[in-house]
Chains A and B, each alone.
Chain A
Amino acid sequence: MTKKIHTITCAAQVEKLGEIAEFVEECAECFGLDVKRAFGLQVAVEEAFVNICSYAYPEGGGDATMTASAEEDCLVLEITDKGIPFNVLLLPDPDTSKDIAEREIGGLGGYFIRRLTDNVSYRRENEENILKLVLHRTGGS
């Protein structure tokens, strides 16, 4: 059994990030996600949302929907858009060992999504991109 906690739909525009952050904060509080994990979730969701704005809707104009649910001891957040097929998880990891001069700007978004969640998966369904983030309520990641 899954219990729906909350859902939000908003324009996929970076300026809407404040609304998204507020939504995620409410979900995390309502679920009782520990503070450190809630911070990680905020970052992971921002990265996913910003990627939707840039890649799923390269010409702008679309919406993104987030649905949070509780599944046993996990908070599950699905981020859905109707843009072009785009899987953020396929982006290569950055080389985190390089120094300032060599380090490339960018490439951290997908990496953060993977590192700051316990489980993440992508699927394309009914012409939609669906990214599913799963976080345990407590515990080490």
Chain B
Amino acid sequence: MNIQTTKESTAMVVTVVGRLDAVTAPEYEQKFIALISEGESRFIVDFEKLDYISSAGLRVLLATAKRVKGKSGAIVLANIGGTVKEVFDISGFGSIFPMYESVATALTAVEK
């Protein structure tokens, strides 16, 4: 897994590439803890290049969302498709996270 961040005016765009599984999930969580401690609270997570996610991945997604919610922030997701989407659908995560078709539409939504 590889994580890239891009600072936009209204949110931090976090691009996750590869697998978000039991091995890589702690790294994802650490990255968010670091960003939050730097003062970031609004995130767009771009999953276009996410190949795989398991419950361990969803677990850290939820844990980080709870963390930013306490700081009046938000995490929204962009570009969830293909096989990864099924995991979101059956877990109910598809309805607890705002999801957008692209980073651009997510940014527009976050600005409002």
Q: Which A residues are within 8 Å of any B CB, using their own CB?
A: 14-15, 17-18, 21, 35-36, 39-40, 42-43, 46-47, 50, 94, 96-101, 103, 105-106, 108-109, 111-112, 115-116
Contacts and interface: CB of A to CB of B under 8 A. Distances in A.
B83 interface: yes
B55 A18 contact: no
Interface of B: 19, 21-23, 52-56, 58-59, 62-63, 65-66, 69, 83, 86-87, 90-92, 95-97
A46 B53 CA distance: 10
Contacts of A111: 90-91
A39 B83 contact: yes
Residue of A15, A39, A43 contacting most chain B CB atoms (<10 Å) = A43
Given A39-B52, A43-B54, A99-B96, A17 B62 contact: no
B56 to A, nearest CB: 7
What 4 A-B pairs come out closest when comparing CB atoms? A96-B92, A108-B55, A39-B83, A46-B54
A100 B69 contact: yes
Contacts, number: 74
B91 A17 contact: no
A109 B52 CA distance: 15
Nearest to A18: B23
B86 A109 contact: no
B96 to A, nearest CB: 5
A100 B83 contact: no
Residue of B22, B59, B65, B86 contacting most chain A CB atoms (<10 Å) = B22
A97 B92 CA distance: 6
